[in-house]
Amino acid sequence: MLRWTLLDLRDRAELRDRFVPYAIQRLPAAEFVYRQLRQRIASLELEPGTPAGEQTLAEQFGVSRTPVREACARLAREGLVDIYARRGVIVAPLRERAVSNARFVREALELAIVRGAAERADESGLFALDQIIDEQRWSLKRNDPERFFEADEKMHRHLCILAGREEVWFVIVDAKVHMDRARRLSLREQGIKKLLADHEAIVDAIKSRDADRAVDAMRQHLLDIDLQMDQIKARYPAYFEAGFAVSRKAG
């Protein structure tokens, strides 16, 4: 019997923990750099407007420019960084249009997903869903937003699994990033209590096998970010398009 090793980057990397030096786990350098940058951008650890040339990044990560370049090209295609001639790679500002499009895509996909989940979920899957909600309650109690965000991701991903469409999660993730940054800002204002309540409503509907109610709850949940946008934009104008001054040597 002949067999070959399939080098599918996504699956391979998906199995590994984050934040582990790639040399140990043999996570390809390009993938590692991509994930690091993406995570830092999504979490606003790297603020919009932050400049970073490929050479600089390569030195920071201790790799050559080749994998860095690959990572930056991906991020540029996703709209997370802008690449300007002679200025290098710059963390993209929040764009209202991109956030809105992301919400549109997520809504279309996740409404279909949540319907599928309500109709098809099995008992063990529902149990796991409860565990995830518990984790979120715990995060709220401990006031640990990062942990909450992780559990949030876990929940939405689990819904895909329940609907029998696990792979669709990757499409949602691609769209999600642009919303995530806005969400971090929103969080600073309204806290996570509302989000947890939304989640509980969704899960409750799914457990009742009430697909229509689950869909409504999900729609409500995703709509929230749109309602908050004006407030966020007014409060953090510097994070938005053209809101930050272009650094220029005084002359």
Distance CA 120, CA 214 (A): 13
- Per-residue contact flags (x/-) with a second copy for residues 164 to 203, judged by CB under 8 A: -x-xx--x--xx----------------------------
* H/E segment holding residue 52: strand 51-52
Q: Among candidates 179, 192, 173, which has minimal Cα distance to 226?
A: 179
- Per-residue contact flags (x/-) with DNA for residues 1 to 40, judged by CB under 7 A: -xxxx-x-x------------x---x-xxx----------
Distance CA 151, CA 247 (A): 37
Out of DNA, a second copy, none, which partner does residue 126 contact, by CB within 5 to 8 A per kind?
A: none
Tokens 């940058």 belong to: 37
Nearer to DNA, 70 or 226 (CB): 70
Token pair in block for residue 162: 């329940």
Phi then psi for 13, rounded to 5 degrees?
Answer: -70, -30
- By CB under 8 A, what part of segment 116-175 binds a second copy? 165, 167-168, 171, 174-175
Q: Pick from 248, 249, 250, 251 the residue near a second copy by CB under 8 A.
A: 248
* H/E segment holding residue 90: strand 88-91
Nearer to DNA, 16 or 154 (CB): 16
> Among the candidate windows 84-92, 164-172, 196-204, 215-223, which touches DNA by CB under 7 A?
84-92
* Contact assessment for residue 29 and residue 63, using Cβ atoms and an 8 Å cutoff: yes
Out of a second copy, DNA, none, which partner does residue 138 contact, by CB within 5 to 8 A per kind?
A: none
Phi then psi for 82, rounded to 5 degrees?
Answer: -110, 145
Question: How many residues form the binding site for DNA (CB under 7 A)?
Answer: 33
Q: Which residue ranges make up the site for DNA (CB under 7 A)?
A: 2-5, 7, 9, 22, 26, 28-30, 53-55, 63-67, 69-70, 72-73, 83-89, 248-249, 251
